[in-house]
């Protein structure tokens, strides 16, 4: 039949842990004792204080002895040992007290590592999606630019076609050119006739001038 001690899960400890806990209990007890029975020069060998101090230490040792049935120290079930005295009486080594500040820093570092891990996991999931979205936006922008260039070219082509349509057709220009050619030839013919007529007119004017001079000379002699 299982004993009462075997019905509960036992505490896993190291030898250093037991020594440290015992030292903490003793230090707290001495602190309380010094508060109520302070040591003075005249009370260093106070029998009452010494007796109370021994009783308190004995109580703490006995408490640890009773609690050993719930402990596994260095992998050894202490229910199978006679006492904790052998562990307690081993040569004492300096045991550093539990550093709560360092433990708090370590806990914060673990929390930061966990947060960073979650962030990396999130980025691994979100970055491909964001990259795909940005790539889609980039393609849309280039597509819009290309469409605008094509539209501008089409508009320019339409403007050129409209300008070409505004130019008179060759069938309409040829008759006008023929008329202009006829007018030019007619004007040229007139100029040729004038060139031939001018010397004749000049000769006649010279003869008329000579006649006038002859008449004037006769009139002068008659007077």
pTM here is 0.36
Distance between CA atoms of residues 74 and 66, nearest Å: 18
Check whether residue 126 and residue 65 sit in a common domain. Answer: no
Average pLDDT over all residues of the chain: 73
Q: Is the model's pLDDT at 31 over the cut of 80?
A: yes
pLDDT at position 96 is 59
Q: Are strands 71-73 and 76-77 parallel, antiparallel or unpaired?
A: antiparallel
Check whether residue 66 and residue 14 sit in a common domain. Answer: yes
Residue 55 in contact with residue 30, Cβ under 8 Å? no
The torsion angles phi and psi of 176, rounded to 5 degrees, stand at -65, -40
Check whether residue 79 and residue 50 sit in a common domain. Answer: yes
Check whether residue 19 and residue 65 sit in a common domain. Answer: yes
How many domains does the chain divide into? Answer: 2
Torsion of CA 210, 215, 221, 222, to 10 degrees: 170
User: Is 49 part of a structural domain of the chain?
Assistant: yes
Last residue of a domain, one of 98, 121, 143: 98
Contacts 24+ apart (CB under 8 A), 203-211: none
**Which three-class secondary structure state does DSSP give residue 63?**
helix
Mean pLDDT, range 199-216, rounded to an integer: 71
Q: Is the model's pLDDT at 55 over the cut of 80?
A: yes
Least confident of 5-9, 37-41, 166-170: 166-170
pLDDT at position 8 is 66
User: Is 43 part of a structural domain of the chain?
Assistant: yes
Check whether residue 63 and residue 140 sit in a common domain. Answer: no
pLDDT at position 162 is 63
**Structural domain range at position 152:** 99-167
User: Is 122 part of a structural domain of the chain?
Assistant: yes
pLDDT at position 30 is 87
Mean pLDDT, range 116-134, rounded to an integer: 76
Mean pLDDT, range 81-86, rounded to an integer: 75
User: Is 206 part of a structural domain of the chain?
Assistant: no
Torsion of CA 147, 148, 153, 157, to 10 degrees: 100
Residue with the bigger pLDDT between 1 and 40: it is 40
Check whether residue 14 and residue 79 sit in a common domain. Answer: yes
User: Is 172 part of a structural domain of the chain?
Assistant: no
Q: Is the model's pLDDT at 2 over the cut of 50?
A: no
Residue with the bigger pLDDT between 21 and 190: it is 21
Check whether residue 92 and residue 125 sit in a common domain. Answer: no
Q: Where are the alpha helices (DSSP H) in 79-169?
A: 85-88, 100-166
Q: Is the model's pLDDT at 75 over the cut of 70?
A: yes
Last residue of a domain, one of 130, 151, 167: 167
């Amino acid at each position: 039949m299982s004993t009462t001690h075997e019905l509960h899960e036992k505490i896993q400890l190291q030898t250093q842990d037991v020594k440290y806990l015992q030292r903490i209990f003793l230090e707290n007890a001495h602190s309380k004792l010094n508060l109520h029975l302070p040591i003075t020069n005249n009370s260093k060998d106070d029998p009452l204080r010494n007796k109370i101090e021994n009783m308190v230490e004995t109580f703490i040792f006995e408490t640890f002895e009773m609690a050993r049935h719930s402990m596994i120290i260095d992998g050894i079930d202490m229910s199978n040992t006679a006492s904790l005295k052998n562990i307690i009486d081993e040569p004492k080594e300096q045991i550093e007290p539990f550093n709560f500040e360092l433990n708090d820093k370590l806990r914060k570092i673990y929390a930061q590592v966990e947060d960073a891990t979650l962030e990396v996991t999130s980025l691994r999931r979100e970055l491909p999606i964001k990259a795909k979205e940005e790539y889609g936006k980039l393609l849309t922008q280039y597509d819009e630019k290309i469409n605008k260039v094509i539209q501008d070219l089409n508009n320019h082509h339409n403007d050129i076609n409209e300008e070409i349509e505004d130019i008179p057709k060759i069938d309409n220009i040829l008759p006008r050119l023929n008329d202009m050619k006829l007018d030019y030839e007619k004007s040229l013919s007139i100029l040729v006739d004038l060139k031939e007529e001018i010397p004749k007119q000049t000769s006649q004017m010279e003869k008329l001038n000579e006649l006038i001079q002859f008449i004037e000379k006769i009139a002068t002699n008659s007077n």
